[in-house]
Amino acid sequence: MKFLTASLVSTLLASVASAGPISVRRSPSNQTQTQSGSENQGDGKAMSAANGTSVGAAFFISNEPDGNLLIAADIGTDGKLTLRRAVDTGGLGAHGVTDPNGPDPLFSQGAIKASATGNIVATVNAGSNTLSVFKINPTDPTAVSMIGRPVGSGGEFPVSLAINSAGNTVCALNGGSVNGVSCFKVDQQKGLVPIANTVRSLKLNQTTPATGPAGSASHVVFTEDNKQLVASVKGIPPQPGFLAVWDIGNDGSLSTDFQSIAPEKGGLLPFSMTIIPGQNAILATDAGLGFDIFAFANSSKNVNGTDSPKSSAVAIDGQAATCWSSFSPKTKNFYLTDIGTSIITEINISDSLKGTIVKQYQQGHGSGTIDNDIATVDNKDIMYVLSANATAIDVLSLDAPGQARNIQKLDIASPAKAAGVKINANNLQGMTTFIRK
C-alpha cells in the first residue's frame, strides 16, 4: 500500500511537470520560479529556483533514446552546483552496444561542449545523428536557447564535439557505421552550417550504434594553434588504437587524408585527449593502461629550446579504465577519471613531457566516474565529475597541486524525478562548463 502511494505520488508529480508545454519564449533572468519544478520556463523545465549567485553553468546530457535533454546546473560563487534546468535538444540519445550494459553510453568525452568566447553550448544527439547548438545567456548561464534547428552530424552515432578557440567553428566525431569527422560554422541565426570539404572518414569497421568500448571512436579536439583537428580511436587488443590528425586549411577545410599516430609501446585504447599547453603535445587517457603522451611532429624541442620531449605510455597501477581528463590552469596538473575504480588520478607533466602521478582521490566505490571538466571560479579551479552510476556530480576544489578537496556531491536523481525529467545512470554523458566574463 505504501509502495502504491509513493509511486502514485511520483507519477502524479511527473505528469504535472510534463503536462505544460515547453515554452520557447526567453524568460528574464530573475523571473520567479516555482520550487516544485512543475512550471516550465525559459527553454525547458525548471529544476529549482534561481538564487541570484550564479557565476556560470555546468552542462551534461540525459542522452535518453526517446528524447535527449541538456541538463544545466548553476555554478555558485563557491563553485558548488544547483541543478536548474532541463532543455529539449530536439534530438534523440543512444547507447552503444556493449557487454555488460552500463554507464558511458557513447564511449566518449566531449558529447556536450561549451565555449565562453562563442557564448554557445553544443551537443550531440547520437540516436538521431544530429547536433544542436544553443546560445548561452551570459547573465543567466543555464538559460540556453537553441539557434536554428538540429543539423545532420555528417555521419552516424555522433559522440564528441570540439569548438575552436574563437568559438565560431564546431567539429563533430561520428562513431557509427558511417564514421569520421565533420565541421560547421556557427551562424547566430541559422545555427550550425556545414563547412565544405570537412566530412572525412576514419574508415573504421563499426556499427550504428557503435560497438565498444574497444575499437570505438573516443574524442575530437583542436590542437592548441587551431591548425589541426585530432580524433582518438581505441584499439582492439592486442591491436593498439591511434590518433587521427587532419590539417585545417585557411578556408576551414580538412586535409583529405589523416595522419595516423600510434601510441608508444604499451598504449592500447586512447580515449580522452587533453592539450598539454605550450608543448605541441597531447595527454590521452588510455583505458587499457593509464595514459599516453603524444608528442607531435616538431615538438622535439621543449619550451626551453632543448631537445627531449618524447611520447610515452604510462601505467596507472590498479587502474580499471582511465578514460576522461581535464587540465587545471591553476595547479598546472591533469585530472583523470576511471569508471571502474571511481578514482581521480592527478598527473604532473614536466617540461620534458615526463608524466608522474601526484595523488589519487577515491570518489566512492561504484560511483562510475566518467566525464569531467575544470572551471576557474573566483580565481580557484573547481573540478566537476559526472559520477554516472551514482547519478551524482562530485565537485572538488583544486586548492593546490596534490590538494584536491571534495566540496559537494550533487544528487541528480531526486531533483530530476521531482521535475519529471527522465534520467538513467546508464545513459547520462558529458560534462562541460561555462563561466561568465
Ligand X SMILES: *[C@@H]1O[C@H](CO)[C@@H](O)[C@H](O)[C@H]1NC(C)=O
Interface residue list for ligand X (CB under 6 A): 28-30, 51, 53-54, 74-76, 78, 80-82, 102-103, 205, 297-298, 302, 304, 306, 308, 332, 339, 348-352, 366, 368, 389, 401
Name the minimum Å distance from CB 307 to ligand X. 9
Q: Which is nearer to ligand X, 188 or 300 (CB)?
A: 300
Q: How many CB atoms lie within 10 A of CB 407?
A: 15
Name the minimum Å distance from CB 149 to ligand X. 29
CA distance 94 to 178: 15
Cβ pair 371, 106 in contact under 8 A: no
CA distance 270 to 275: 14
Name the minimum Å distance from CB 426 to ligand X. 9
Ramachandran angles phi, psi of 16, nearest 5° = -60, -45
Name the minimum Å distance from CB 100 to ligand X. 9
The 3-state secondary structure of the chain, one letter per residue? CHHHHHHHHHHHHHHHHHHCCCCCCCCCCCCCCCCCCCCEECCEEECCCCCCCCCEEEEEECCECCECEEEEEEECCCCCEEEEEEEECCCCCCCCECCCCCCCCCCCCCCEEEECCCCEEEEEECCCCEEEEEEECCCCCCCEEECCCCEECCCCCEEEEEECCCCCEEEEEEECCCEEEEEEEEECCCEEEECCCCCEECCCCCCCCCECCCCCEEEEEECCCCCEEEEEECCECCECCEEEEEEECCCCCECCCCEEECCCCCCCCEEEEEEECCCCEEEEEECCCEEEEEECCCCCECCCCCECCCCEEEECCCCCCEEEEEECCCCCCEEEEECCCCEEEEEEECCCCCEEEEEEEECCCCCCEEEEEEEEECCEEEEEEEEHHHCEEEEEEEEECCEEEEEEEEECHHHHHHHCCCCCCCCCEEEEEEECC
Name the minimum Å distance from CB 206 to ligand X. 8
Q: Which is nearer to ligand X, 250 or 298 (CB)?
A: 298
Q: Which is nearer to ligand X, 191 or 241 (CB)?
A: 241
Name the minimum Å distance from CB 395 to ligand X. 10
Name the minimum Å distance from CB 17 to ligand X. 21
Q: Which residue is nearest to ligand X (CB)?
A: 76
Q: Which is nearer to ligand X, 51 or 239 (CB)?
A: 51
Q: Which is nearer to ligand X, 82 or 108 (CB)?
A: 82
Q: Which is nearer to ligand X, 14 or 204 (CB)?
A: 204
Q: Which is nearer to ligand X, 11 or 350 (CB)?
A: 350
Q: Which is nearer to ligand X, 132 or 341 (CB)?
A: 341
| Grid cell at residue 220 | 575530437
Name the minimum Å distance from CB 193 to ligand X. 29
Provide the CB-side half-sphere exposure for 243 (13 A, CA).
Answer: 32
Name the minimum Å distance from CB 328 to ligand X. 10
Q: How many CB atoms lie within 10 A of CB 332?
A: 12
Name the minimum Å distance from CB 4 to ligand X. 25
Name the minimum Å distance from CB 57 to ligand X. 9
| Grid cell at residue 309 | 620531449
Q: Which is nearer to ligand X, 189 or 304 (CB)?
A: 304
- First-residue to last-residue Cα distance in the chain: 53
Q: Which is nearer to ligand X, 187 or 351 (CB)?
A: 351
Q: Which is nearer to ligand X, 74 or 286 (CB)?
A: 74
